[in-house]
Amino acid sequence: MIDPLADVVTLLQPAARYSKVVTGGGAWRVRRAVADQPLYCVVIRGRSRLTIDGLEPLMLAEGDFVLVPAPRTSVMSSVATVPPDDMETIPEMIGRGEFRVGDEDAPTDVQFLLGHCEFGAPDAALLVSLLPRLIHVRDEARLTTLVRLAADESRASRPGRDVILGHLLEVLLIEALRSVPDTAASPGLLRGLADPRLAAAIRRMHEDPARAWTVAQLAGEASLSRSAFFERFSRSVGMAPMEYLLTWRMALAKKLLQQAAHGVTEVAGRVGYSSASTFTVAFTRHVGMPPARYARGQALGQIA
């Protein structure tokens, strides 16, 4: 059976960037400016407070896992000792991949693994729009184990390091996403897949993206009326059914265009367009440049 969640994570091409173990004691507050990498955090022991720009603050406890797929400003701060509002702490390196925050003479009351990865897909922003804004999972030992393995591998210089890290991060992302309680997921693919009827329609879109789907046909796959399906899909996924289908088709098209073996006409047919001209119009509107130009840029390495 087609797995839409695995499809999206695979196309995202996650790769390791950086991870560090942080210990803290006393009062501290660390602000992380908006960056272009997804942020993740695992609390090894103790508690800390995480504030993500635009979201409700989170009180993190031992065993918690947090992933923020899209760039956002974040603030981590102590809980055992409340820091002053104007405090800004600079982490101090105490070893390779290890940092200390707060009073160096105070007993250690929190330890967490903090890091970021990158998405290698040229359409990462488009794919990230299908994911929840914040993923918070509590007491999932499998996640903690996976992150520890990724952190250990990132600091080592063993043969095959990058390959191992890539696979670990794919598994980590899928495990994190599927571990989120259905009721806790913000609108996106995850919430859509948690609804058995919507999941049936989403799987069909992924199984056969070239089909000339209509809302009525997709509603039939979900065993819902057209209006009920449209409203339920839009509320749960955060976009209308045809918008989701277009987003997925464009993601697939960009992936195919990266491969020199696929011409524009072939790609058009594989993602549901009857002609290269109609595909070119849709692709240009969605991506900002014609598919032929996009393909040339990929071949020359000019598009990140």
Q: What is the pLDDT of residues 44-58, one digit of tens each?
A: 889 999 988 877 889
Which of 61-75, 181-195, 289-303 bottoms out in mean pLDDT, i.e. has the lowest? 181-195
- The H or E element containing residue 5 is helix 4-12
Structure tokens at 116: 């970021």
10 pLDDT more than 50: yes
170 pLDDT more than 70: yes
- Domain 195-300: which topology? Arc Repressor Mutant, subunit A (1.10.10)
Determine the Cα–Cα distance for residues 179 and 199; give it in Å rounded to an integer. Answer: 17
Which of 78-87, 156-165, 219-228 bottoms out in mean pLDDT, i.e. has the lowest? 156-165
Domain positions in the chain are: 4-184, 195-300
* Global confidence as pTM: 0.70
Task: Give residue 92's pLDDT band: very low, low, confident or very high (50, 70, 90).
Answer: very high
Q: What is the mean pLDDT of residues 84-109?
A: 89
Cβ burial 290-302 (10 Å sphere, 16+ → b, else e): ebebbbebbeeee
35 pLDDT more than 70: no
One-letter amino acid of 118? E
More confident: 71 or 116: 116
CATH of domain 4-184: 2.60.120.280
Of 96-105, 128-137, 155-164, 195-204, where does the model show the most confidence?
A: 195-204
